[in-house]
Amino acid sequence: MDQVNVRWYVEDVAAHSSPIVIAGLPGVGHVGKLVVDHLVHVLSAVKVAEITSTLFPPQMYLSEDAVLRMPRNEVFFAPGSENSPAVLLLAGDCQSTTPEGHYILGNAYIRIFELLGVKRIYTLGGYGVGRMVETPRILAALSSSSLKEEVLFAGAVLNKDEPVGGIIGAAGLLITLGRLVGMEGIALLGETSGYLVDPVSSTAVLDVLEKLTGIKADRTELAELASQMMTEVSAIASTMQKNNADDLRYIG
Amino acid sequence: MDQVNVRWYVEDVAAHSSPIVIAGLPGVGHVGKLVVDHLVHVLSAVKVAEITSTLFPPQMYLSEDAVLRMPRNEVFFAPGSENSPAVLLLAGDCQSTTPEGHYILGNAYIRIFELLGVKRIYTLGGYGVGRMVETPRILAALSSSSLKEEVLFAGAVLNKDEPVGGIIGAAGLLITLGRLVGMEGIALLGETSGYLVDPVSSTAVLDVLEKLTGIKADRTELAELASQMMTEVSAIASTMQKNNADDLRYIG
Amino acid sequence: MDQVNVRWYVEDVAAHSSPIVIAGLPGVGHVGKLVVDHLVHVLSAVKVAEITSTLFPPQMYLSEDAVLRMPRNEVFFAPGSENSPAVLLLAGDCQSTTPEGHYILGNAYIRIFELLGVKRIYTLGGYGVGRMVETPRILAALSSSSLKEEVLFAGAVLNKDEPVGGIIGAAGLLITLGRLVGMEGIALLGETSGYLVDPVSSTAVLDVLEKLTGIKADRTELAELASQMMTEVSAIASTMQKNNADDLRYIG
Amino acid sequence: MDQVNVRWYVEDVAAHSSPIVIAGLPGVGHVGKLVVDHLVHVLSAVKVAEITSTLFPPQMYLSEDAVLRMPRNEVFFAPGSENSPAVLLLAGDCQSTTPEGHYILGNAYIRIFELLGVKRIYTLGGYGVGRMVETPRILAALSSSSLKEEVLFAGAVLNKDEPVGGIIGAAGLLITLGRLVGMEGIALLGETSGYLVDPVSSTAVLDVLEKLTGIKADRTELAELASQMMTEVSAIASTMQKNNADDLRYIG
């Protein structure tokens, strides 16, 4: 097993003209991962490549019948239609265990995308703000200011001071590493508390992504997840208020 | 000294037909280590190979007469009999000091097993549940769902949601890395508190292992260890109750 | 992308005779960084080379229009005049994420300086003393005791017991690595609290640097920053006094 | 600069017949370092080789006139006399910043010793016991049980259960790595609190070392250091008792 291993599942993807990439790896609130996992499902995308790496955690996952598998990231392909582009989806379990590994893995993903004729990358993620957000803004970051107009038109916010401290991990690196080989890139980060998996923020990211790409994805399941989460959060919030009230009685 | 060093002690093991591997390295509750160290002893297994590594901790061990030795893992061989299979036992002091090292060392073990004609690997370990467990369940994880029937028949539990978060370290990696070269693999994890070395859990793991492999190992010593531990745990528990009572008196 | 990547922006710098280096990377109080960033600006220095590295944090920065860029360090050149030397300025975002990386990156910077004919290096930084400092001393450290006279004459302090524990990171390493290839080196460290970005300390470092090098840099902006900071610190201090008074009332 | 760099200062040491090595790098209580630094001084040993490494901390030291130098370990040579053996002393600033680095550096030291014809290594260190020790025992650990008699005769203790957990770092590794190339090795560890630099423990280690090697080293300075430390510890202890008394008055 090498430091980065790519196993190819399909031979002829390169024949398709310039698929876009949508990448959503685990991160803050799993905002990007939720969207991309959802797209793999609703677009019935097929697996093109699987990446395993000694830079991933040495933590084996259980699947059906408790069959073990390595941590892996996967590239899926959906061919697109008249109004919707061909899409490569980068989804998976994990990011690197070391700072240097982020660069090494980022380069590996970009090399795969190059082979598949990619010209544009969207990366999706969350931006933790430390408080509950009802109507999350979508912050964008770009490979070039020439992308400014379309991103603003799609409803995202451009602000060089947010996220404070920039973007850590694959969502940022894929944009800068892609630019080195001539790819356009747009990172979309949904505001989220940072404490919980956040389908509400994911839905808001998907809204912007659809406007940008023309993809139309049934979102029933994501909406259900989001509504379920809002109910849970309300329940938590009311419990907390009650507890605070109790606390006051106790102190009083 | 290279990153991984293998020193061979025996030349002719490869002549034996397809020994199974039973691996038990240090980990949660030392559940797997206790079983494998016990098997090395009761099966009078002979040392086949010794692995030292710059990926092991730089911590030298003292043996008889305070003679120093490097941390090492060892492969032992027991030839088996009519009803009992030939066995390679992977035992030793330690696992890797880094995440990436787990993969590198795992590959090294698998290469040794390949040379020795291995077709099936059992890895043993513990599953920390954070509370005392009187009758530990044995969770299994598999290289393939084709192993499901025999594992359930031997009394193990298959549940894709346990251990939560999967299996970290050699117990999981040897199964997935072995599969890459065509080996079957079964991980057996005994429930354990996670706070103490746990021969009770080890005995329960050995029960399942014996049903799966046909090995019959005298278990007097392991049973003594287990009974001794149960006495100690009871003593601790009653001391803790007494202390709690004292605490209450003090507060009162 | 290699471990260290150098992108050259200008071809003919080597033609200039022996520019001095002034290096100010992020560190305690950003004392060195403030000075060098200021010099890049007021000397209208042009970019000569850009260093990116897998040893830098995997954290992408946002610039105007939220365009993403990699963390990078940069070498700028200002040609100097009759009374002022030609200068290379090493400025940038970060230092290494690992101890070993400091040596690897340090070597890379020195190789760039060698190519550009450098004979002398000044490194600037802060020395955290854990309390507010109104009139910061400038501690110097040298590549050779032959530099002692000029450094003392310029107003710096030489004391083998300060900074306690020596100098960590690029400010120290560039001096010792440079000496290996025959470069003279002087590190100038401004006393600073260690809690805040400190333009007051930076101004004091610049005073000594100017005496040593003959550079004359307009310092309006740095002075404004410093005066603004003193006001803020006074405000913080008076708030803290008030709070302490409040605390006393509360306790009383 | 390579990962490990050896700079030779003397060409003809190999001509001497089989010098012994005495190694004392920084560690618990600096017990070993104090002895070896003392021996370098009193034996007027000359520098043979200097080791610098990217595996050492990126922390530059200040010497006279605030001249900077890299962290380094050094090998010194004292030719010995009729009753006293030729000695190589391994002294210096630091050990590795990573677990793997301990092995890499240990190998580098052993390679130097091989070139210089070494047949026996003594490593000196401390064993932290978490309480003040008035009459420290000297624990020994060996490359072979054949060394048992002479070590016991010299007054050291051999106990496979102490130090608990074995020996971490160069003091242990040099013994096991040296054995791989046929060198005998004896580690001598002085009991010490673990909280303070401990010349009392160092003096006790030197006692045993002298009996083992026949070296006679004037120990005035070490004795002065030790006596000074005993005075300081007494002062600390009496202050602590006084403070405890004050505390009681305060609470009362």
Q: From first to last of its 252 residues, what are the pLDDT tens digits of chain D?
A: 899 999 999 866 655 678 999 999 999 889 999 999 999 999 999 999 999 999 999 999 999 999 999 999 999 999 988 888 999 999 999 999 999 999 999 999 999 999 999 999 999 999 999 998 889 999 999 999 999 999 999 999 999 999 988 999 999 999 999 999 999 999 999 999 988 888 999 999 999 999 999 998 888 888 887 777 777 767 766 665 555 444 443 333
What mean pLDDT comes out for the span C60-76? 97
Q: What φ, ψ does residue D51 adopt, rounded to 5°?
A: -110, 125
In this structure, are residues C94 and C73 in contact, taking their beta carbons and an 8 Å threshold? Answer: yes
CA angle A120, A122, A127 (to 5 degrees): 155
Contact A68 B185 (CB under 8 A): yes
Residue A196 has pLDDT above 50, yes or no: yes
Residue A238 has what pLDDT? 65
Residue D2 at interface with chain C, using a CB cutoff of 8 Å: no
Q: Do A60 and B144 touch (CB under 8 A)?
A: no
- Please determine, for residue C226, whether its predicted confidence score (pLDDT) is greater than 80: no
Shortest distance, CA D196 to any CA of chain C (angstroms): 17
Residue B226 confidence (pLDDT): 77
Shortest CA gap C56–chain A (Å): 8
Is there an interface between A and D (3+ Cβ pairs < 8 A)? no
Question: For position A24, what pLDDT does the model report?
Answer: 97
Contact D60 C175 (CB under 8 A): yes
Contact A168 C98 (CB under 8 A): no
Q: What percent of chain B has pLDDT over 90?
A: 73
pLDDT tens sequence across A21-50:
999 999 988 999 999 999 999 999 999 999
Interface test with D, best of C96, C102, C160 (most D CBs within 10 A): C160
The backbone region for C175, taken as left when phi is positive above 0, alpha when psi lies in -120 to 50, beta otherwise, is alpha
CB contact under 8 A, B104 and A54: yes
Cα–Cα distance for residue pair D102/B97, rounded to 1 Å: 12
In the structure, do chain C and chain B come into contact, i.e. share 3 or more CB pairs under 8 Å?
no
**Using CB atoms, which residue from D144, D158, D176 is nearest to B70?**
D176
Tokens 């160290």 locate to: B37
CA–CA separation, A166 and A172 (whole Å): 8
Count Cβ–Cβ pairs < 8 Å, chain B vs chain D. Answer: 80
Which residues in chain D have their CB less than 8 angstroms from residue C166's CB? 59-62, 68
B107/A1 Cβ within 8 A? yes
Q: What is the pLDDT of residue D231?
A: 78
Q: With an 8 Å Cβ cutoff, are A58 and B168 in contact?
A: yes
Q: Give the residue with greater pLDDT, A33 vs B81.
A: A33
Distances in Å between the Cα of B169 and the Cα atoms of B36, B123, B137 are 17, 11, 21
Among A138-147, B135-144, B222-231, C87-96, the range scoring the smallest mean pLDDT is: B222-231
What was the pLDDT predicted at D16? Answer: 60
| Contact indicator for C189, C163 with CB cutoff of 8 Å | yes
Given a cut of 90, is residue C236 above it in pLDDT? Answer: no
Give pLDDT, residue B244. Answer: 47
Q: Tell me the C-alpha distance between C228 and C232, whole Å.
A: 6
Lookup: tokens for A14: 């390169």
The whole-number average pLDDT for the span C200-225 is 91
> Residue A81 has what pLDDT?
83
Chain C nearest C-alpha distance from A147 (Å): 9
Residue of chain D nearest C104, judged by CA positions: D54
User: Nearest-CA distance from C152 to chain D in Å?
Assistant: 11
What's the average model confidence in pLDDT over B153-174? 95
pLDDT in tens, A163-172: 988 999 999 9
Say how far apart CA A148 and CA A158 lie, in whole Å.
Answer: 8
Residue C57 pLDDT > 80? yes
Other chains touching D, judged by 3 or more CB pairs under 8 Å: B, C
Query: H or E segment at A138?
Result: strand A138-142
Q: Does the distance separating the beta carbons of D173 and B60 come in below 8 Å?
A: yes
- Determine the pLDDT at residue C16: 60
Cα distance from N-terminal residue to C-terminal residue, chain C: 63
- Mean pLDDT value across residues A87-99: 96
Nearest Cα residue in chain D from C158 = D66
The per-residue pLDDT of chain B, averaged, comes to 90
The reply to whether C96 touches chain D by the CB within 8 Å rule is yes
The pLDDT of residue C55 is 97
pLDDT of B225: 78
C-contacting chains (≥3 CB pairs under 8 Å): A, D
> Has residue A251 got a pLDDT over 80?
no
Residue A48 CA: distances (Å) to CA of A7, A11, A115, A178, B194: 9, 8, 12, 19, 41
Per DSSP, the three-state class of D158 is strand
Domains identified in chain A and CATH numbers: 4-219 (3.40.50.10900)
Six token digits for residue D166: 């074995």
Compute the nearest-CA separation of C172 from chain D (Å).
6
Residues of chain B neighbouring D141 (CB-CB closer than 8 A):
60, 62, 66-68
Asked if the model's pLDDT at residue C250 lies above 60, the reply is no
Report chain C residues whose CB lies below 8 A from the CB of D3.
Answer: 100
Chain D residues with CB-CB distance to C165 below 8 A: 59
**Nearest residue of A to residue C52 by CA position?**
A103
* Residues whose CB falls within 8 Å of the CB of residue A93, separated by 6 or more in sequence, listed in order: A26, A56, A61, A71, A72, A73
Residue A224 pLDDT greater than 60, yes or no:
yes
Q: Which of D123, D167, D208 is most worth mutating to test chain B (most B CB atoms within 10 A of its CB)?
A: D167
